[in-house]
Amino acid sequence: MIMKLLGCRSIRFIRYFSDVQKVTKFKPKASRKINYCTPILSEERKKSINKIVALQISGRYLTCTSFLRDGNMLVDWKMLCFPENMYKFNLNDIYNSVVDIMKDLPQGDAYLIENYMKMPSNVNVAGANLFYIKLQTLAMLIALINSSQMKDLSTNTNEKDSKVVLMKARLHARLFRIIVGTEIISSQTITESMLKGNFPEHITPITPGIDAVLTYNSVQDPAIKELMSNGLMMALTFVNLVLNCNPNSLQALSTSYSKKLKSNKK
C-alpha cells in the first residue's frame, strides 16, 4: 500500500517450494576423527613400540607400570617417591627432584601419561597448589624423557618421535567402565580379577609376570594400589585402542554402558 502511494511498482516476493529446495543445500556432517593420544602415532612408530611404561603420579608417589607388547605381558610395577615436603617446592626444586627420579625410571619405547585438561572445580587453595605442582612435575618429566631420547639419536636420522604419549583424559576409565556419573570408582577389583586370569570380554588377555603379582599383593596402601591399577589399565587401553585397534575394544568404548545394561534386562 505504501509503495503504491509513493508511485512505485509493487514487488511480489513469491518463491516456490521447488526453488527453495534448489537454493538450500544441506552439507552432510563430516565424521569426527577421534584421537586417543597425542601425538598421533604413525604406523611405523606403532610397530617400533614393544616396552610400554605407564606413569601415574599422585602426591609424592610415581608408579611405573612396565608392559611388554610382545606376548602381552605385565612385567612389573615400580614405585618412586618424591620428597615429603613437595607441596612447598619451587620450580628449581621440582626440576632437581625430577632429575633424581629419572635415574630410576624404567626403560621403555613409549611412556604413557594421562593428559590432564583442567583443575577440579571443588578444590581449596592447598589442593589447587598441589594440582599445579603435579602439572609442573609432569611437564618437566615429559621434557627430560624426550630430551634423553634426542641425545640417543644420531645426527643423520630424521626420526624425532616423542617417547612420551599423552593419553586422552579418562580414556582408560571409560574403556574399563569405572565411571559412575562424573566420578571414577576404584579399579582394584577389576585388576585383581585380571591378575587371576579373568578379563573383560572386550580386552585382550594378558600374562602377568610373577614379579608383578608379588609386587601388587605386597602393597598395603590402597591409594598406591589404585595408582598401580590405573597404570595397568592405561597400558592395556593404549595397546588395545592405539597399537592393535582391537575391534571389540573400539566397539565397547563407543557403546553406552547404560544402554547395554537395559538391553540385557530385556
Residue 150 has what pLDDT? 58
pTM: 0.80
What's the mean per-residue pLDDT of the chain?
83
**89 vs 77, more confident:** 77
Local structure of residue 240 (DSSP, 8 states) = I
Is residue 12 situated within a structural domain?
A: no
Average pLDDT over residues 258-263: 47
**Does 14 fall in a domain?**
no
Q: With 90 as the cut, is the pLDDT of residue 8 above it?
A: no
Residue 19, in any domain of the structure: no
The backbone torsions φ and ψ at residue 108, rounded to the nearest 5 degrees and listed phi first, read: -160, 160
Region 64-70: mean pLDDT is 97
Element (DSSP H or E) covering residue 68: strand 61-68
Which pLDDT belongs to residue 104? Answer: 96
**Average pLDDT, stretch 203-213?**
96
Sign of CA dihedral 146, 150, 151, 153: positive
Q: What is the pLDDT of residue 31?
A: 45
pLDDT digits (tens, 9 = 90+) for 98-151: 999 999 999 999 999 999 767 767 777 777 788 888 889 999 999 999 998 655
pLDDT at 117: 65
Average pLDDT over residues 181-197: 93
Cα 232–chain centre separation: 12
User: How far is residue 12's CA from residue 94's CA, in Å, rounded to a whole number?
Assistant: 75
Domain contains 208:
yes
Establish if 17 belongs to a structural domain.
no
Alpha helices in 33-124 (DSSP H): 43-48, 91-102
- Alpha-carbon distance of 46 to 31, in angstroms, equals 24
The tens digit of pLDDT for each residue in 14-32 reads: 454 445 455 445 454 444 4
From CA 19, how far away is CA 23, in angstroms rounded? Answer: 6
Residue 45 sits in which domain range?
Answer: 37-265
| Rounded distance between C-alpha atoms, residue 56 and residue 63, angstroms | 5
Report whether pLDDT(256) > 80: no
Give the per-residue pLDDT at 258.
Answer: 45
> What CATH number did the domain enclosing 195 receive?
3.30.420.10
Number of structural domains, the chain?
A: 1
Determine the pLDDT at residue 23: 47
Name the burial class of residue 34, with classes exposed (0-12), middle (13-18) and buried (19+) by CB atoms within 10 angstroms of its CB: exposed
Residue whose entry in the numeric block shows the C-alpha cell 605407564: 54
Instruction: Answer whether residue 15 is part of any domain.
Output: no
Average pLDDT over residues 38-59: 94
